[in-house]
Amino acid sequence: MSLLRLIVLLAGAALLAACDSEQNDPYPAAERGQAILYSAFTERPKHLDPAQSYTEDENTFIAQIYEPPLQYHYLKRPYTLIPGAAEQVPTPVYYDAAGKRLPADAPAASIARSVYEIRLRPGIRYQPHPAFAVGDDGRPVYETIDAAMLAKVERIADFPRTGTRELTADDYIYQIKRLAHPHLHSPIFGMMAAHIVGLRELGDALQQAAKANPDAWLDLDRFPLPGVERIDRSTYRVTLKGKYPQFLYWLAMPFFAPVPREVDRFYSQPGMAAKNLSLDWYPVGTGPFMLTENNPNRRMVLDRNPNFHGETYPCEGEAGDREAGLLADCGKPLPLIDRAVFSREKESIPYWNKFLQGYYDASGIASDSFDQAVRLAVGGDVALTDEMQAKGIRLLTSVRTSTFYMGFNLLDPVVGGKDGVGEARARKLRQAVSIAVDQEEFISIFMNGRGIPAMSPLPPGIFGFVEGEGGINPVVYDWIDGRARRKSVEAARTLLAEAGWPNGRDAKTGEPLVLNLDTTGGGMGDKSRLDWLTRQFAKIDIQLVVRSTDFNRFQEKLRKGAVQLYYLGWNADYPDPENFFFLLAGAESKVAQGGENASNYASPAFDRLFAEMKDMDNTPQRLDIVRRMNRLLQEDAPWVFGFHPKSYTLGHAWLLNRKPNDVANNILKYQRIDVAARAAARHAWNAPVLWPLAALLAVGLAILVPAVVAYRRRERRNARGNDGR
C-alpha cells in the first residue's frame, strides 16, 4: 500500500513540476532573465583578506572587489601592465648609497634604493559599507557596537546604515603595513620585508605590541613605516632596497590593494569575529563588484558596486581580437553584468553536466569529459566536436604560465653525484632519465594533449621562451623534419651505461639501480599515472619505486632532503623569467635555506647569471643571459622538464568577451551575457524525460495488484476459518 502511495506522491510531484521545461534548473525562478553570470568554484576560498589570499581560488573573488594600483591589459599579449587605480604606471627613480639620483640605465649594483611614486585617480569611491556610515555629528555610526546591537546582526547587510568615502593614499599605506601584521601571516611578508625599507622592523614592532596587549586592536597608523611615504591625499611613495623591477607586478596584486583604517577598526570590535564579520569574510573595495553573499559552502554572490568610478571596455587588443568579436563592446562602461553567482561544485561530473545543460556559462574541461568536447584535428590543432558546435559552444585555449617537472634532489648520492659517486656520472644518469620519461606520451594519455612538453622552465608567454629549433632542449631532443623529436631509448641507455649503470646494473657490483620517486598521492586516479611512470623507467632498466605520501610529509621530506625524485609544479606569480629561475637558484636551496629550490641545485655559473638577469629589463642582453641559463639547466638536468599545461575553457555562445587570461584575475567586469539567447537554449536543452516515471508506476501496479488479490483471497479464507498457514 505504502509503496503505491509513495509512487503516486513522487509521480505527482514530478508531474506538477513538469509543467515547465527547466525543472532541473538549480537557480531560483526569480533570477531568470537577468544579466547574471553563473560559474562554479571547487575549492572554498580560505581567505578573502587581501593581505592573505594568494591562490587562484581566492583571487577569483577578491580581484573583482579590490583595485590595486595597477592591472593587466585584458586583451594585449604579452601581458602588459596598465594603470588600475593609479593614474599611470610608475617609473622607479634610482638612488645610490649616498642618496644621489641615478639614471634609469644605471648598473644594478650601484643602485641602493628605488622609489616608486604612485598617484591615484581622483573620484574613486568605496562600495557602500556600514564602516563608512557617518552620523549627523560627523562621527562613524558604528564606531562602537554594543552587544545588544550585535545580537540583531548576522550578516553585514543587517546593518541598517551604510556610507562611502573617497579612496585615499592612506588606505594603500595602511594595507602595506598590514602585510607586517602578526595576526595576518601574510604569505609575502618575508619576501617583501627583504625589499621594502623598514617593513621588517615594523613587523617586529607590531609583534611586540601584539604580545603586550594580545586582544587589543593594533592601530597601524601609530607605527611608522619609513619605506612608504604619504605625499598628499592621493599620492604615496614606496622605497625599495636596491633594484627590483618585478615590484611593478606585485603592484597589480591584491596584496597592494587599499584597506581603509576605519574598516579595519570596524571589524576589530569585540564579538564581530565570532559572527564571521571580518575583512576576511566581507571584503570592502572600490572595484566593479562587491561581495553580497558569502556562503563558501554553497555559493558566493558578487553584485555590481553602485559607487564604481567607471571604466570602459578596451578598444585595442592583439591581432585577431577584432575578428573574434572581442572589441565589439569598445568604449562601453564596465561592468557589463549586474551580478555573478558562483556555486560550489566539488565533483566534476555534476559540474560538467550542469554546463552542458546551460546552467554554467563557462567551464573548464576535466580530462575525462575531454573526448566529448574536443577532438584533435590533423596536425595537433584542436577543434570542438560536432555535438559541442551544435550547441554553439566555443573553445578558448591558452598555455598557462606554469610548469610541471620531476625534480632530482641533487644532495642524493646516486642522482646528485655526492659522496664520491661523481657529478659527471650523476649528470648522465639524469640526462638518461630525462630522455626516457616520454612527456609527449604523458601529455597525450593523461592530459588529452592539453599541454606542451617543456624544454626549459620557461613556458610560452614568458620573456625568454624561444619557439622552434632554437628553443629545444638539445640533451633530450633532436630537430628533425622541422619538429623536435625525442631521442631514442637507445641514446638513453648509452648515457646510462656511460654513467656506470649498463643495463640498469652497477658496472662494478651488479646491483640493480633502484630509484625512489616521492609524490603527493592525492586522488585514487594516481594509480594509472604511477604505473605509467614505472614503465617509463623500466624502458631503460631502472627500477622505480613510487612513494605517494600526504602533502605535509612530502614537504617535510623535501625540507630534509630525504627524497631522490619528486614531482612538483609551479604557477607563476607574475610573467617574468625570474619567477621561474629562482626555483633553481642556489640561494633558494630548500635544505640549506628553506627556500623554494627543492632540487637543491647549486651551480655557481647559474647563480651568477641569475643575479645578473633578475634585475635587468627585457633587453636583448637579458634574452642572451636567459638562453645561457637554459643551456646550463638542460645540460645539468636538475629537473626532468615536464610540460606546460594548456587551459581549455568552454564558453557558451551567450557568454561574450571571454578571453583566457592566466595572470590577471579581475576579468569579470569585461564579461557580457546575452540573456535572451541563454534562456532560449536552456529551454531547448532541458526537456525532461517522463516515461520512466510512468514505467515506474506501471511496475509498482504490476507488483501491487497481485499482492492485493492474494490478500483478498487470504482474508476470505481466514473468514472461512482456515489459517493461511
Partner 1 sequence: MSIQPVLLWSDALIWLLVLGVVAFGWASSRTPPLRAAWRRVGRNRPGMAAATVLLVFVLIGLLDSLHYRPPLANRTPDQPAAYSIEVLSALDALAAPLRTRMEKTYSAPLATRAYAKESIEVRDAGGAVHAVRDFPRLAFGGAHLGEDEAQRDADVLGRVLAAEVVALALILVVSGVGAVLLARRQAIPWPQAVRRLWRGDTDIAWNAVLFSLGALALTAAPLLALCVDYHVFGTDKVGQDVFYQVLKSVRTALVIGLVTTLVTLPIAVALGILAGYWRGWVDDLIQYLYTTLSSIPGVLLIAAAVLMMQVVIDTHPQWFATAAERADLRLLALCLILGMTSWTGLCRLLRGETLKLRELEYIQAAQAFGVADLRILARHILPNLMHLVIIALVMDFSGLVLSEAVLSYVGIGVDPTTISFGTMINNARMELAREPMVWWSLAAAFSFMFALVLAANVLADAVRDAFDPRAAVA
Partner 2 sequence: MFAYLVRRLLYAIPILIGVNLITFALFFIVNTPDDMARMQLGVKRVTAEAIEKWKAERGYDKPLFVNAQASGVGVVTETIFFTKSARLFVGDFGRAEDGRDIAREIRTRMGPSLAIALPTFVLGLFVTVCLALMLAFFRATPLDFWGVVLCVAMMSISGLFYIIGGQYLISKLWRLVPISGFSAGLDAWKFLILPVLIGVVSGIGSSTRWYRTIFLEEIGKDYVRTARAKGLSELAVLFRHVLRNALIPILTGVVVVIPLLFMGSLLTESFFGIPGLGSYTIDAIQAQDFAVVRAMVFIGSVLYIVGLILTDLSYSWVDPRIRFES
Peptide bond into 78 cis (omega under 30): yes
- Cβ distance to partner 2 smaller for residue 390 or 689: 689
Contact status: 276 vs partner 2 (CB under 8 A): yes
Contact status: 524 vs partner 2 (CB under 8 A): no
**Residue 539 CA to chain centroid, in angstroms?**
35
- Cβ distance to partner 2 smaller for residue 13 or 328: 13
93-95/382-384 β-pairing: unpaired
Contact status: 298 vs partner 2 (CB under 8 A): yes
Which three cell numbers mark 418? 655526492
Contact status: 664 vs partner 1 (CB under 8 A): no
CB of 447 to partner 2, least distance (A): 22
Question: What number of residues does the chain have?
Answer: 725
Do 254 and 71 contact (CB within 8 A), yes or no?
no
Contact status: 207 vs partner 2 (CB under 8 A): yes
DSSP designation for 624: H
Q: What is the dihedral of CA 320, 326, 327, 330, to 10 degrees?
A: -160
Give dist(CA 335, CA 337) in Å, integer. Answer: 6
Q: How many CB atoms lie within 10 A of CB 199?
A: 23
**Residue (of 65, 70, 68, 47) closest to 57 by Cα position:** 47
Contact status: 520 vs partner 1 (CB under 8 A): no
SS (H, E, C) 436-450: HCCHHHHHHHHCCCC
Helix (H, G, I), strand (E, B) or coil at 94: strand
- Residues in 238-267 at the binding interface with partner 2, rule: CB under 8 A: none
- Cβ distance to partner 1 smaller for residue 349 or 694: 349
Contact status: 76 vs partner 2 (CB under 8 A): no
**Residue (of 443, 536, 441, 435) closest to 477 by Cα position:** 435
- Cβ distance to partner 1 smaller for residue 349 or 703: 349
CB of 638 to partner 2, least distance (A): 20
Stretch that binds partner 2, among 375-383, 408-416, 447-455, 704-712 (CB under 8 A): 704-712
For partner 2, which residue of 8, 10, 149, 699 counts as binding (CB under 8 A)?
10
* Residues 6+ positions from 65 with CB-CB distance below 8 Å: 127, 283, 284, 285, 287, 289, 290, 291, 302
- Residues in 549-568 at the binding interface with partner 1, rule: CB under 8 A: 549-550, 553, 557
Give dist(CA 170, CA 258) in Å, integer. Answer: 8
Do 529 and 454 contact (CB within 8 A), yes or no?
no
Judged by beta carbon distances under 5 to 8 A according to partner kind, the member of partner 2, partner 1, none in contact with residue 555 is partner 2
- Cβ distance to partner 2 smaller for residue 86 or 196: 196
Which three cell numbers mark 327? 572589441
Judged by beta carbon distances under 5 to 8 A according to partner kind, the member of partner 1, partner 2, none in contact with residue 636 is none
Stretch that binds partner 1, among 214-222, 421-429, 431-439, 517-525 (CB under 8 A): 517-525
Contact status: 604 vs partner 2 (CB under 8 A): no
* Residues 6+ positions from 80 with CB-CB distance below 8 Å: 72, 73
Contact status: 191 vs partner 2 (CB under 8 A): yes
Which H or E element spans position 3? helix 2-17
| Count of residues of this chain found to bind partner 1 when the rule CB under 8 A is applied | 51
- Cβ distance to partner 1 smaller for residue 185 or 346: 346
CB of 241 to partner 2, least distance (A): 18
Do 312 and 332 contact (CB within 8 A), yes or no?
yes
* Amino acid at residue number 326: L
- x/- mask, partner 2, residues 663-702, rule CB under 8 A, reads -----------------------xxxxx-xx---------
The CA-CA-CA angle for residues 218, 220, 221, to 5°, reads: 130
Q: Terminal CA-to-CA distance of the chain, rounded, Å?
A: 23
- Burial of 558 per CB tally in 10 Å (0-12, 13-18, 19+): buried
- Cβ distance to partner 1 smaller for residue 298 or 527: 527
- x/- mask, partner 1, residues 528-547, rule CB under 8 A, reads xxxxx--x-----x-x-xxx
CB of 151 to partner 1, least distance (A): 33
Instruction: Find cell 622552434 and name the residue.
Output: 468
- Cβ distance to partner 1 smaller for residue 319 or 377: 377
Contact status: 273 vs partner 2 (CB under 8 A): yes
Contact status: 502 vs partner 1 (CB under 8 A): yes
Contact status: 714 vs partner 2 (CB under 8 A): yes
**Residue (of 300, 330, 302, 335) closest to 317 by Cα position:** 330
Do 569 and 402 contact (CB within 8 A), yes or no?
yes
Judged by beta carbon distances under 5 to 8 A according to partner kind, the member of partner 1, partner 2, none in contact with residue 34 is none
- Cβ distance to partner 1 smaller for residue 340 or 546: 546
- Cβ distance to partner 2 smaller for residue 538 or 710: 710
Instruction: Find cell 612527456 and name the residue.
Output: 439
Give dist(CA 699, CA 6) in Å, integer. Answer: 13
**DSSP alpha helices (H): ranges in 437-511?**
439-446, 489-498
Stretch that binds partner 1, among 41-49, 117-125, 319-327, 507-515 (CB under 8 A): 507-515
Stretch that binds partner 1, among 375-383, 395-403, 624-632, 662-670 (CB under 8 A): 375-383
Contact status: 383 vs partner 1 (CB under 8 A): no
- Cβ distance to partner 1 smaller for residue 2 or 552: 552
Residues paired with residue 673 on neighbouring β-strands, in sequence order: 655
Contact status: 274 vs partner 2 (CB under 8 A): yes
- Cβ distance to partner 1 smaller for residue 348 or 686: 348
Q: How many CB atoms lie within 10 A of CB 685?
A: 15
CB of 689 to partner 1, least distance (A): 17
DSSP designation for 317: -
Judged by beta carbon distances under 5 to 8 A according to partner kind, the member of partner 2, partner 1, none in contact with residue 387 is partner 1
Give dist(CA 609, CA 587) in Å, integer. Answer: 13
| Count of residues of this chain found to bind partner 2 when the rule CB under 8 A is applied | 72
For partner 1, which residue of 371, 419, 478, 624 counts as binding (CB under 8 A)?
371
**Residue 61 CA to chain centroid, in angstroms?**
11
Q: Is the dihedral of CA 573, 579, 584, 588 positive or negative?
A: negative
Judged by beta carbon distances under 5 to 8 A according to partner kind, the member of partner 2, partner 1, none in contact with residue 548 is partner 1
Contact status: 297 vs partner 2 (CB under 8 A): yes
- Cβ distance to partner 1 smaller for residue 276 or 488: 488
Do 542 and 515 contact (CB within 8 A), yes or no?
yes
- Cβ distance to partner 1 smaller for residue 541 or 573: 541
- Residues in 422-461 at the binding interface with partner 1, rule: CB under 8 A: 445
CB of 307 to partner 2, least distance (A): 28
Positions that interact with partner 1 (CB under 8 A):
348-349, 352-353, 366-369, 371-372, 375-380, 387, 445, 502-505, 509-512, 514, 516, 521-532, 535, 541, 543, 545-550, 553, 557
